[in-house]
Chains A and B, each alone.
Chain A
Amino acid sequence: MNHLPQAWGRPRDDVYGQYNSAYLPSSHHGPTTHTQSPIVTGTSVIALKYSTGIVIAADNLASYGSLARFTDVHRLKPFNRKAIVGFGGDVSDMQYLTRLLKRLDTQENYADGDVAEVDSDGDEVEGEEKPHMSAKNLHAYLSKVLYKRRTDFNPLWNALLVAGLDEEDKPFLAFADLLGTTYSSPSLATGFGAHLAQPILRRVVPDEKASEKLSREDAVKAVRECMKVLFYRDARSMNEYSIAVVDREGMKLKESEKLEGQSWAFAEGIKGYGTQTV
């Protein structure tokens, strides 16, 4: 979707004419705008729910327009043991959100530490098992932040996926973007992934029931396959990516996975590029 101002409903200059700045204070040459265009951007993030957890992946590229500028950018950010956020869109806004979440995590930790948690048996729950903010809580928080910023006409130009476990340790996956739009589904993808990867993922998990039956290995296989397809077809992608699997036992994050099994054999058959005329 084209999120730039000209496309989202601002009155078109060729229809209504340009803003007449004569009516504005001399310091303003137009209306006050914060609305930006993203500068350094990350492309798609894809994720899938399986029986006991989630798989999420994003490549390690930050593009500067059409320049593949930074090739070691990790767009999957773990929050705590139970949640991970994948960011697409503007990288500086991703950094802002990462720092915001770090502050949130620190403050949540203050509250946790004050009372000794007691589980159903009356035994003290030790350190790591203390309840954390779940992925569901994290998604709610991020949605509110994003929607607030859009209402201020100063959006955080991202499309992100929040994946992990909810309060009952069931797999959780939801989307949130620069407009404040949110939705949830057994498989999700942002950017080009929504067009290219979702059909593949939906064939694997057409509905919730299918996702409850899906094994971890099959889920990881499907996601890796989609990353390969995205590299074939998304012109702003890379062959190195990060992938994370979150389940009750914990989170495994791998940050330098290379695409395997690529086939560029079709290139042999392409005719008519460059100087070739036959």
Chain B
Amino acid sequence: MTSIGTGYDLSNSVYSPDGRNFQVEYAVKAVENGGTAIGIRCKDGVVLALEKLVTSKLQKKDANRRIATVDRNVGIVSAGLLPDGHHLVSRARDEASSWRSTYKAPIPVTSLADRMGAYVQMYTTSSGVRPFGVTAILGGWDAETEVDVDGVVGKGPSTGAGGKTKGAKEGGAYLYMIEPSGAYWGYYGAATGKGRQAAKAELEKLDLDPKKGATISLEEGVKEAARIIYVAHEESKDKEFELEMTWVSAVSGPTKGKHEEVPKALREEAERLAKKSLEGEDEEDDGKMEE
């Protein structure tokens, strides 16, 4: 299945005769070995979840938070080489800060995804660097309420802010996934890492497309995300793992537009239900075998 690069895979930025950059494809292999990361775009927010494989019994529980926040309202979870993930988050934070400096407003999630994609792509064009060994899932909520300009002084004219389309609905949930090639797409449900096949299958079952009338709420999304991570973990059954989940809701929702960790109580409830549903499946399988 894997083509041998035969000489065209020794350097980054080099095209093979059939038009491939092998180093980027090898970077994808690094991602496939990492713990599963998923994102679900719900009607009123986004949920991000991560299967953190425990590499050592000496690790302090709950100490190593891996889902990072960018600005206030965006979260990034990555699968693959952890330090590459950290660097990408650091760049995203710089991009968000520089946008705020210029435009005195938070960066729209779409623009942040665009900048991250462009940054990742840069590392596929020079032989002096290697591509990022992570696929990053970016989830955020653009405020649906009117957000004042940074450092606003006074109320402004009573006729209101100019240049706006009347009745246009602002804001909403956004979910993007950026691959080592720099390509990115917007998703309703995204998965990457070791258990992505199983996770994708589960996500497809969920029916997340609002155009087809399906709308999953944030709370349901949290429970489903936990369940899907547990299902995806079957791929690495032999290792222990920790579930980390974060969410962003609308300004009128539980997180008030901020990207935060899912509260412990809700996460534990979701894990309990996830374990129960897995046991339920096992019992069904056992039942069938007995027959």
A positions within 8 Å CB-CB of B: 62, 70, 72-74, 91, 94-96, 98-99, 102-103, 106-107, 109-110, 113-116, 124, 126-127
Contacts and interface: CB of A to CB of B under 8 A. Distances in A.
Nearest to A105: B72
Contact of A95 (B72, B97, B153): B153
B153 A115 contact: no
Given A91-B153, A124-B62, A110 B104 contact: no
Contacts of A73: 153-154
A130 to B, nearest CB: 11
Contact of B154 (A70, A102, A110, A124): A70
Interface residues of B, number: 21
Contacts of A126: 263-264
B69 A99 contact: no
A227 to B, nearest CB: 20
B268 to A, nearest CB: 11
Contact of B150 (A72, A99, A116): A99
A106 B154 contact: no
B100 A115 contact: no
B142 interface: no
B261 A113 contact: yes
Nearest to A74: B153
A225 B153 CA distance: 26
Interface of B: 62-63, 65, 68-69, 71-72, 93, 97, 100-101, 104, 150-151, 153-155, 260-261, 263-264
B249 to A, nearest CB: 13
A90 to B, nearest CB: 11
Contacts of B101: 99
A165 B101 CA distance: 29
A110 B100 CA distance: 16
Contacts of B93: 107, 110
17 contacts: A70-B153, A72-B154, A72-B155, A73-B153, A99-B100, A99-B101, A99-B104, A99-B150, A99-B151, A103-B100, A106-B72, A110-B68, A110-B69, A113-B69, A116-B62, A124-B62, A127-B261
B100 A96 contact: no
B159 to A, nearest CB: 15
List 4 A-B pairs, minimum CB-CB distance, nearest first.
Answer: A95-B151, A116-B62, A98-B151, A99-B151
Given A96-B151, A110-B93, A124 B69 contact: no
A73 B152 CA distance: 9
B169 to A, nearest CB: 27
A242 B71 CA distance: 29
